């Protein structure tokens, strides 16, 4: 084994061993974690705010949090993201990347995004397929054999997202009020083409997501100025139960939904956004996010519910360019994410 690979195995230790055992388990590709890379979202802003953005997404990365938010993008834009999924930028455990384009069309916005998540140098261990071993039994057998890998392989997940969103602006009438209340109600949809490669196996599938948001100014509801805006949002992920067909079978990327609310307000050059999401992916997880903006600078923080993990980040806006960073501390190491949006 080369010095470089020896250093990689030493540094990643039990985390890499556990990953390899999981990938080699008979049900490794199935059900629960199929297509999981898409749940990581996109862009640094959403991660920095604890992934609680279903009601507050309004930029080129909205297809990952709520496709309805794409309708709030008022200019053509290109976007990109680079992330080290645990570890450092120079030597991460996984690499997460994205490139996208938003283009106004037909009274709405059309978006195209490419996403790639890759893990290299995954050690290959004996499969122990001659018995129905549990995950922990496989780990124990590998450790007792000295933990020496038979070789290395990689996992590559890719997706192409075609999204369309349009904003509606109805007026809500209450009989006891003397005026109508204007609302902003964007809707959006994602068409997803997914491709996963694991060692010598490959799978592909097609799925659909949908989302909606509702925004209202509090001054229209209460008559009191400077209270800001309240928003509600919903995302229906894989509402068609996306199928992922492999060389030797088929998995289902199951449906789940995310509900959320947001409050935006400001005073002078200072503005803030407070968000709360309820993610029903596996079980209900509450997530919270906060963004403070002063001029072209932004500071962000979040809390990822049951995991108890804090997220953090910052952003800089200058003319047509937005630059953002997000970080997350995890048992497997630190996650770094950088992204940009350029409007034209």
Global pTM reads 0.85
pLDDT-based confidence at residue 16 (cuts at 50, 70, 90)? low
**8 Å CB contact between 253 and 205:** yes
Nearest one of 338, 305, 341, 319 to 97, comparing CA atoms: 338
What pLDDT, on a 0 to 100 scale, did the predictor assign at position 177? 58
Backbone angles phi, psi at 147, to 5 degrees: 70, 20
pLDDT-based confidence at residue 232 (cuts at 50, 70, 90)? very high
* Mean pLDDT of the residues in the chain: 85
Domain 3-343 of CATH type 2.40.160.40: yes
Sign of CA dihedral 274, 264, 234, 165: negative
User: Which secondary structure element, helix H or strand E, spans residue 166, and what is its range?
Assistant: strand 151-168
- Calpha distance 6→14 (Å, rounded): 14
- Calpha distance 121→119 (Å, rounded): 7
Q: Token pair for residue 148?
A: 């020496």
Evaluate if residue 190 carries a pLDDT over 50.
yes
Evaluate if residue 25 carries a pLDDT over 50.
no
Least confident of 1-10, 50-59, 77-86, 111-120: 1-10
Sign of CA dihedral 86, 87, 93, 98: positive
Higher-pLDDT residue of 266 and 150 is 266
User: Which secondary structure element, helix H or strand E, spans residue 18, and what is its range?
Assistant: helix 3-24
For 2-11, b where at least 16 C-beta lie within 10 A, e where not — what string?
A: eeeeeebbee
Express each pLDDT in 90-144 by its tens digit: 778 889 999 999 999 988 999 999 999 998 888 777 766 666 777 777 777 777 7
What pLDDT, on a 0 to 100 scale, did the predictor assign at position 118? 92
Higher-pLDDT residue of 199 and 18 is 199
Evaluate if residue 11 carries a pLDDT over 70.
no
Neighbours of 42 (CB within 10 A): 27
Express each pLDDT in 295-329 by its tens digit: 999 999 999 877 778 999 999 999 999 999 999 98
Evaluate if residue 276 carries a pLDDT over 90.
yes
Domain boundaries, the chain: 3-343
Which pairs with CB-CB distance under 8 Å and at least 24 residues apart come from 200-205?
Answer: 200/153, 201/29, 201/246, 201/247, 201/248, 202/246, 202/247, 203/29, 203/244, 203/245, 203/246, 203/247, 203/251, 204/244, 204/245, 205/35, 205/242, 205/243, 205/244, 205/245, 205/253
Evaluate if residue 216 carries a pLDDT over 80.
yes
Neighbours of 132 (CB within 10 A): 8
pLDDT-based confidence at residue 5 (cuts at 50, 70, 90)? very low
Backbone angles phi, psi at 49, to 5 degrees: -95, 30
For the chain, percent helix, then strand, then coil, each to nearest 5?
Answer: 20, 55, 30
Average pLDDT of the segment spanning 15-38: 54
Neighbours of 307 (CB within 10 A): 13
Evaluate if residue 8 carries a pLDDT over 50.
no
For residue 121, list its beta bridge partners: none
Evaluate if residue 28 carries a pLDDT over 60.
no
Neighbours of 318 (CB within 10 A): 8
Nearest one of 163, 158, 202, 204 to 186, comparing CA atoms: 163
- The strand pair at 242-246 and 185-198 is best described as unpaired
What pLDDT, on a 0 to 100 scale, did the predictor assign at position 282? 80
Higher-pLDDT residue of 235 and 31 is 235
Express each pLDDT in 33-75 by its tens digit: 567 888 899 999 999 999 999 999 999 999 999 999 999 999 9
Phi-psi region of 308 (alpha: psi -120 to 50; beta: other; left: phi over 0): left
Average pLDDT of the segment spanning 328-343: 88
Alpha helices in 146-247 (DSSP H): 218-222
- Calpha distance 257→243 (Å, rounded): 17
What pLDDT, on a 0 to 100 scale, did the predictor assign at position 152? 83
When mean pLDDT is compared over 54-63, 80-89, 215-224, the highest value belongs to 54-63
């Amino acid at each position: 084994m080369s010095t470089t690979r020896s250093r990689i195995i030493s540094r990643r230790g039990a985390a890499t061993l556990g990953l390899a055992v999981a990938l080699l388990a008979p049900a490794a590709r199935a059900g629960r974690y199929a297509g999981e890379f898409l749940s990581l979202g996109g862009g640094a802003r959403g991660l920095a705010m604890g992934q609680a953005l279903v009601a507050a997404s309004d930029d080129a990365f909205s297809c990952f949090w709520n496709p309805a938010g794409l309708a709030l993008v008022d200019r053509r834009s290109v976007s990109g993201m680079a992330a080290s999924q645990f570890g450092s930028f120079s030597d991460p455990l996984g690499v997460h990347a994205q490139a996208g384009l938003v283009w106004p069309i037909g009274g709405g916005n059309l978006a195209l995004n490419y996403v790639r998540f890759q893990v290299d140098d995954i050690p290959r261990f004996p499969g122990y397929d001659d018995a129905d071993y549990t995950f922990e039994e496989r780990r124990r057998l590998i450790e007792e054999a000295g933990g020496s890998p038979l070789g290395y392989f990689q996992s590559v997940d890719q997706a192409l997202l075609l999204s369309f969103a349009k904003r509606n602006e109805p007026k809500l009438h209450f009989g006891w009020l003397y005026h109508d209340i204007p609302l902003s109600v964007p809707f959006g949809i994602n068409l997803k083409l997914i491709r996963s490669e694991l060692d010598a196996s490959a799978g592909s599938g097609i799925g659909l997501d949908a989302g909606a948001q509702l925004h209202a100014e509090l001054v229209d509801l209460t008559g009191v100025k400077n209270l800001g805006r309240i928003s509600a949002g919903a995302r229906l992920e894989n509402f068609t139960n996306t199928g992922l067909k492999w060389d030797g079978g088929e998995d289902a990327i199951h449906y789940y939904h995310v509900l959320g609310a947001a409050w935006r307000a400001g005073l002078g050059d200072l503005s803030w956004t407070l968000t709360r999401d309820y993610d029903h992916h596996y079980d209900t997880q509450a997530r919270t996010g906060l963004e403070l903006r002063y001029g072209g600078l932004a500071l962000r923080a979040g809390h990822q519910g049951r995991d108890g993990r804090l997220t953090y980040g910052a952003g800089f806006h200058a003319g047509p360019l937005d630059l953002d960073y997000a970080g997350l501390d995890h048992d497997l190491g630190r996650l770094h994410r950088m992204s940009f949006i350029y409007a034209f």
